[in-house]
Amino acid sequence: MKDRDLLNGIVLENADHVLKRLYSLDSAAFRDGGRLGAETKELVALAVSLALRCDDCVTYHLARCADLGVPTPQLAEAMGIASLIGGTITIPHVRRAFAAWMEMKQKSPGADFDSVLENLREVVREGGAPEGVLAAAAGLMKDSIPGYDWVGFYLCDPVTPGTLVLGPFSGAPTEHVRIGFGRGVCGRAAELGRTLVVDDVTRESEYLACSPEVKSEAVVPVFSANGTVVGELDIDSHERAAFTQADRDFLEKAAAALSPFVEAAAAALQGGGGA
């Protein structure tokens, strides 16, 4: 943000009246509290992204439109405008955008995150062996939320620092039982200590493929009480762009609720109890 404001200041110092007027109109329309509502901003951004054929940008703005509840007819109108601007070369991008949108619309009605989170907290309150609690949590999320096709935990190995070890999971078996920090989406999330969401895994050059059916992935680091990464919650989906901001918020709350059990399961690896 600081860099952008600095660059804007440099531009405006040297701009003529036409460019200054353009900046003024942009600020009035797009800044928070501006003349355009949130839905209109996203539809305009979607149309521009399609006209420029930037698929990553299109996916982002589609997800924002889904979060805001934009009706499909309005979305179709924005895509039509993009086609008029960009010409027939945009048609393949429009097709992909519609496919991604329909996947999002099919998923969105089925997830009651508040109820699932309360059920997870009940699992936590009941307690038990760490591996058992995490296995129950993984199964609950996979069975309760459409599009969560693989749910599992990776644990930070105290014996080999900088290594993730596969913990309890629900879904198809995976060959990735040990992952170094920095490798793939899981390794990068652990190294960076922040949530990573990948809308299309085929665009990830270092993606560690678990199955050809996986289209998108979300990885949330799990922190100990002192802020150290002790593991992570990993979700794979067979849908492209499956994870909205609502998914991200839910998963981060779930990871926080389960952190004592992830930490305990990771500590148990010291005695040879893990993979």
* Cα 95 from Cα 244, distance rounded (Å): 21
pLDDT over 60 (residue 108): no
pLDDT over 90 (residue 161): yes
- Kindly state whether residues 223 and 243 are assigned to the same domain: yes
Q: How far apart are the first and last CA of the chain?
A: 43
Provide the pLDDT confidence category of residue 275 given band limits of 50, 70 and 90.
Answer: very low
109-135: average pLDDT = 90
pLDDT score, position 210: 72
- Kindly state whether residues 265 and 137 are assigned to the same domain: yes
- What's the CATH number where 20 sits? 1.20.1290.10
How many structural domains comprise the chain? 2
> For a pLDDT cut of 90, what percent of the chain falls above it?
53
pLDDT score, position 152: 97
* Cα 162 from Cα 172, distance rounded (Å): 25
pLDDT over 60 (residue 109): no
- Kindly state whether residues 164 and 239 are assigned to the same domain: yes
The rounded Cα 12 to chain-centroid distance in angstroms is: 36
- Kindly state whether residues 169 and 87 are assigned to the same domain: no
Domain boundary at 75, 109, 143, which?
109
- Kindly state whether residues 150 and 197 are assigned to the same domain: yes
Tens digit of pLDDT for each residue in 185-222? 999 999 999 999 998 888 876 777 677 789 999 999 99
Longest Cα–Cα distance in the chain: 71
Q: Which domain holds residue 261?
A: 111-271
Q: Are 65 and 59 in contact (CB under 8 A)?
A: no
- Kindly state whether residues 166 and 206 are assigned to the same domain: yes
- Kindly state whether residues 77 and 116 are assigned to the same domain: no
pLDDT score, position 17: 73
pLDDT score, position 209: 67
- What's the CATH number where 144 sits? 3.30.450.40
What is the phi/psi pair of residue 229, to 5°?
-70, 120
What is the phi/psi pair of residue 177, to 5°?
-90, -15
Domain boundary at 109, 127, 146, which?
109
- Kindly state whether residues 246 and 131 are assigned to the same domain: yes
Q: Are 28 and 35 in contact (CB under 8 A)?
A: yes
- Mean pLDDT over the full length of the chain: 87
pLDDT score, position 25: 59
Neighbours of 155 (CB within 10 A): 28
- Kindly state whether residues 39 and 81 are assigned to the same domain: yes
Pairing outcome for strands 229-237 and 216-223:
antiparallel
- Kindly state whether residues 160 and 177 are assigned to the same domain: yes
Domain boundary at 109, 136, 165, which?
109
Tens digit of pLDDT for each residue in 29-39? 556 555 678 88
Task: Compute the residue count for the chain.
Answer: 275
- Kindly state whether residues 223 and 201 are assigned to the same domain: yes
What pTM was computed for the model? Answer: 0.63
pLDDT over 80 (residue 59): yes
